[in-house]
Amino acid sequence: MNDYSEYLEEILISEDQLQERIGELGAQISRDYEGQDLLLICILRGGVLFLTDLMRELTVPHSIDFMAVSSYGVGARQSKGQVRITLDLTTSIGGRNVLLVEDIIDSGNTIASVLELLRLRRPKSLKVCTLLDKPERRESEIPIEYRGFEIPNKFVFGYGLDLDEYFRNLRFIGVLRKDKVAEFADAH
Ligand code: IMP
Ligand code: MG
């Protein structure tokens, strides 16, 4: 894999902008869940950086758990609708206030299936917190309680989001260069 700079069109959201907004979201979530039990669920792997930064902004006691679903595979950019749980939670969510922490909602199909599956387990409440929202490509309507940034319909990477599994470590969100899209996307 080449250096990330070879794929970068522009920085869409800087490290400072990310951290400032995550601070605001943390404060808002802390107010909303004050005095209540809270479980954050992160869908691996894209949401991991967001989760760990968001947690540190929360002033309310909370626990975390992880799940993984199959959506985009290497070399495919279009999610196909149905998802499969490839790693399930270890916590029982019945009767708990659950907040799903996601990196990006694009078509919305992934999160729609996850919400459907989790609802069957009867949580007390079930809400969605996403760092990025790409509304132009939405196919499934998703109620988003907490939204970091609305972004245009461009392929982005960094801060948890990958280019074929690389560059999740970057501290900013970058836009993939147009002349490189074909290399990574067969569906767009
Ligand atoms: P959805 O089912 O179309 O909403 O897909 C959501 C998932 O697709 C996200 O959790 C990401 O893993 C992936 N995804 C969607 N858009 C992008 C992007 O611009 N960059 C990297 N991954 C993306
Ligand atoms: Mg993801």
pTM of the full predicted structure? 0.93
pLDDT, tens digit, 9 for 90 and up, residues 99-154 = 999 999 999 999 999 999 999 999 999 999 999 999 999 999 999 999 999 999 99
Closest atom of ligand 1 to CA, residue 110:
2
CB of 132 sitting under 6 A from ligand 1 = no
> Measuring CA to CA, how many Å separate 167 from each of 21, 44, 45, 93, 156?
21, 15, 12, 32, 11
The protein residue whose alpha carbon is closest to atom 2 in ligand 1 is: 110
- Name the active-site residue from 106, 133, 162, 179: 106
Which-ligand-closest: CA of 67? 2
The protein residue whose alpha carbon is closest to atom 15 in ligand 1 is: 106
3-state DSSP assignment of residue 135? helix
CB of 113 sitting under 6 A from ligand 1 = no
Tell me, what DSSP letter sits at residue 177?
P
**Catalytic (active site) residue 106:** yes
Q: Strands 63-70, 84-87: parallel, antiparallel or unpaired by DSSP?
A: antiparallel
pLDDT, tens digit, 9 for 90 and up, residues 68-95 = 998 655 445 555 557 889 999 999 999 9
Mean per-residue pLDDT of the chain: 93
Q: State in Å: Cα 188 to ligand 2 middle.
A: 17
Which-ligand-closest: CA of 170? 1
